[in-house]
Structure 1
């Protein structure tokens, strides 16, 4: 309980500092909303040229886009600031975190409270719920459970990717762009039906790395559609479990990096 109170104090201090500059905070809220809105607008622009993309209609694709948006922004809101680890390693700031009697990862997460991303999360959830309604899904107990669990599992999966790619800074400080290729690149990949991608690219990202299980497979299960690529119907219901190996790998790499960290001496 003492440790939880310490994290609460860190978060409370950050919240108070943000509340002290209300105009700046309001501007950040609105400006952060733009990136998620553009992701959705891109889907509409794509469908102006054709009614079907990769075998899916606009409403069906929006379900995947909304699921990804809700999951990714939730992950970005909670652990996305771990991207700053490379800056902490370079500046030696991580040393001050390590000497405190608290866990390192929660401390780093509490060092920034990205409330400016709240509107993005609200918009992502709005798109997801709207897509669920627009597709007139035949609801069963399994689909209700999947509709709730899928975006949470997507957030856990993307959160694991954030931690995993940020951990590269323990060995390679300038690894930021590599990490972005898997975090933001993964978000873009999962925002569309994976049938639109070439075979080799789909095999690597969708199946080998698991991104195809984030939104595409759950969306198929919710829609009651057969997978054009041949996976069985139960794959959509099992897809959220992909977050478990992702978390295990991220935890292993994180712990290895912490154990082998050497101070910059700055």
Structure 2
């Protein structure tokens, strides 16, 4: 299918049109998933309801304590909403990179490398799961509710941060997805290893980092940058000082951290591609 779409996306002179190739792949995925509309709707609603479990867990915690790590329920919901929206956007855009180990095991990755398209973008575009839009919708709803409950004092800077923070959070999550999946070039059965950082990072970012301690907080919050997905942007939006004593500049550092993470992930990916050896199948 991908080869057929690629041939259709060539220019009249026979030269490949990369943008057209990606567009054809995405369009084919959308058409195939909308063939059975009832099934698609059920998947969409199911994804929405499943992610409500994350919000329910937060609410249950506040049944036994009025404050969690120095934050009230509306404040934690804001952190959780930002984290879930960031992860949902990432999962929608690049979540398919998780399938790379299947491509390597079966030899299908060889075919990916023979096409004059970016191998990474082919993997991302190869199976766009539109049902994940349910998670994005749920995260937006939770975020709007949290903002209303938290009584945010809006300024232009905070409004801009609210818009861009989920995007940069998605970039950071996407960097972890790509870097974790690259391990498959050396260890094919590395799914659980990478999931510990991707899905584990999602759960980590849904709560204030003040609830964690010791090396665990240092490794995940600062070493992997997860504190900059939701915790520090939420502090800036709430105009709340960091209970850990960090400078206010950290609350506005998400773009820098996300772009740095993307650079590291791209470097790791290039190393993995260069060291890839065909399965011979």
Q: TM-score, length-normalised on structure 2?
A: 0.92
Does the CA contact (< 8 Å) of 2:48 and 2:137 recur in 1? no
What corresponds to 1:250 in structure 2?
A: 265
Partner of residue 7, structure 1: 22
> Is 1:20 aligned to residue 22 of structure 2?
no
Which residue does 1:144 correspond to in 2? 159
**Structure 1 residue ranges without an equivalent (≥5):** none
- The match for 2:91 among 76, 90, 109 is 76
* Paired position in structure 1 for 2:241: 226
10-19 or 187-196, which deviates more? 10-19
After the TM superposition, which of the residue ranges 91-100 and 19-28 deviates more from structure 2?
A: 19-28
> How far did residue 240 of structure 1 move?
3.2
Q: Indicate the residue corresponding to 2:201 in structure 1.
A: 186
User: Which runs of structure 2 are paired with 1:148-227 in the superposition (5 Å)?
Assistant: 148-227=163-242
**Pair 1:91 & 2:140 matched:** no
Q: Is the 8 A contact 1:154 1:214 kept in 2?
A: yes
RMSD (Å), alpha carbons: 1.2
Question: Which 5+ residue runs of structure 2 have no aligned equivalent?
Answer: 1-15
Residues paired across the two proteins, number: 266
Offset at residue 27 of structure 1 (A):
2.0
Moved more, 123-132 or 72-81: 123-132
Equivalent residue runs for 1:31-42 within 5 Å? 31-42=46-57
2:118 to 73, 96, 103: 103
